[in-house]
Amino acid sequence: MRPKLIHTVLAVSIGLVLAGCQTASVKPQQAPQEQAKADQINAQDLAKWRATHLNQQVKKEPEQAKDLWDLTRHHLELEPTIDQPRVDAVLAEYRRNDSFVRHASDRANLYYYFVLGEVLKREMPAEIALLPFVESGYNPLAVSPSHAAGAWQFIPSTAQLFKLKRNWWYDGRQDIVASTNAALDYLQYLNDRFDGDWLLSLAAYNCGEGCVGRSVKRNQRAGKATDYWSLRLPRETQRYVPKLIAMARLVDRADEYGITLPAMPNTPYFEMVDIDSQVELIKAAKMAGIDLELMKKLNPGFRQWATDPSGPHRLLLPSGKGQQFQLALSKLPASQRVTWTRYEIRSGDTLSQIARRFDTTVEVIRKGNKLSSNRIRTGKTLLIPTRSSTTTLASNASTQQVHQVRSGENLWKIAQHYGISADQLADWNQISDSRSIQPGQNLILYPDSSNPG
């Protein structure tokens, strides 16, 4: 482990909070596998671990450094002691496609101070803060074909085990605060399970606790070494840990590799403010003096045009905007926080028909009107939360499209067809090697936006 800097800096202003934007983009098929499935995690073991470990976590403040990259370098711990060809191969891919690293770093700029701070407070290796680069390109809206979502790529069953709330309004997997704390809890659990071996823990985050455990036992029975590099693991897991180590090496030796990393100051990008109850995101953005796009980027857990009426009742805002927002919010009548439409029930109406008409769900209408069943009466009035016209226009400004790769196509041809750059297309799909696309593969693109993240 490298010697740590000894000067302390201001503490991260965001506490541990579980729970936390709008419609998700789709994570490409080439992206890494989602982490362990729920049936590979022993729920009783997890509960026992929570009771004995979570309250014992050591909380330390981030240390002073000229920027977050420098702070990261001083806490890297996982570099192999001998050359590993798998790491070298991935590093070569990253160097060929340095635009992926730059664009992912631009996205990470909003969240990295918080994530690295939480990692260091738990005395974890700084490489853990780089894991979302591997999982999602630091895109909290990323969704895999297997329905893993968020910067840390939780599948629904694992998200439930780690208490990440999910409903029509909100997905905690895409909330950077909630998902980061859940992911770090999960990784700490795995690290205890594998006796402090971080490489085995990371492999288990990718393919599952049972997958790694069985491989370890298989090698033990055969009298073979049981370190990560000696195990027979799924192909994706064999590349997963090398991807993280290669990313760490790239950060550590950026100058040597001719990579220019975007500026990442050692200061918090956001602060957390309480809102007490539901509010429309566009109204919150105006009160904070920021645009709706930035509001959504900081609060990607909110999937609709407003926050979840059942919480979490908090927003992340750029540092320094909290006081202005709180003052404006205190002057906004509760009745004006969310726009409601009054709808008179007509003969033949059903709740499901009304929900489809207003682009909402039966559950939302029932909760908003305190209905105990789906039975409704003609002539009665329902209150239905609806997005304002401004929000609707903003949400449609950048429409996601899916392109299926045909035989003979390459990234340049596809990008030219849609009027975008090949670098953008590669970045949106976390493609580090442009030669790796295959016929039948689905690519995600945003023709109307230069940066969907």
The residues, ordered by sequence, that sit 6+ positions from 411 with a Cβ below 8 Å of its Cβ are 422, 425, 426, 431, 434, 437
Give the whole-angstrom CA distance, residue 374 versus residue 363.
Answer: 9
The helix/strand/coil state of 376 is coil
User: What single-letter amino acid sits at 40?
Assistant: Q
**Nearest CA among 319, 242, 249 for reference residue 69:** 249
Residues marked active site are found at 135
The residues, ordered by sequence, that sit 6+ positions from 284 with a Cβ below 8 Å of its Cβ are 275, 295, 307, 315, 325, 329
Contacts 24+ apart (CB under 8 A), 373-379: 374/350, 376/345, 376/349, 376/350, 376/351, 377/345, 378/345, 378/346, 378/347, 378/349, 379/344, 379/345
CB of 208 closer than 8 Å to CB of 37:
yes
In 70-192, the DSSP E strands lie at none
CB of 12 closer than 8 Å to CB of 66:
no
